[in-house]
Amino acid sequence: MTDGVDNALPDVFGEGSKTSFAELVAIIGRSDSIVLPIYLDTEKEAVRNHQAPATAYVLARQQLVQIAAESGNLIYKARKLKDLQNVYEQVMRDLSTMYSIGYRPANRTRDGLWRAVTVQLIGHPELVARAKRGYYSQ
């Protein structure tokens, strides 16, 4: 759960991340972990109190969407702290419908290169498959 604003950005108060965003995305891409970003909207208060510019929040939301997509997920949003209860309930519902699938690739070369994978739910247009877009063959 985060507002997504990295304190390493210009005009944002506080010590920033030691890992760059590009490094974070690469780590997520190589990981088997599930990342479920929860965006807590703190923009109005932070901008009003000159803790961060509005542009930092635009970038933060874009980056959280990118992190979620890299992990094969969506971003969850809470406008206020009290909204977190409903968000966490949604996360739990979504986690309860997750499945793990596997397959044997035709190309079994372990060269560390990216292999694209597409998951399709044939015959179920009412369902949506959210999955990582591929993997690194290691």
Q: Is residue 137 part of a domain?
A: no
Q: Is residue 55 part of a domain?
A: yes
Evaluate if residue 14 carries a pLDDT over 90: no
Contacts of 58 (CB under 8 A, 6+ apart): none
What's the total number of domains in the chain? Answer: 1
CA 11/CA 2 separation, integer angstroms: 18
Q: Is residue 122 part of a domain?
A: no
Structural domain containing residue 51? 21-102
Q: Is residue 118 part of a domain?
A: no
Mean pLDDT of all residues in 5-18: 78
Q: Is residue 46 part of a domain?
A: yes
Least confident of 1-10, 20-29, 82-91: 1-10
Q: Is residue 14 part of a domain?
A: no
Q: Is residue 39 part of a domain?
A: yes
Residue range 46-91, pLDDT digits in tens? 899 988 899 999 999 999 999 999 999 999 999 999 999 999 999 9
Cβ count near 76 (within 10 Å): 21
pLDDT recorded at residue 128: 86
Q: Copy the structure tokens of residue 54.
A: 């509005």
Q: Is residue 95 part of a domain?
A: yes
Evaluate if residue 4 carries a pLDDT over 80: yes
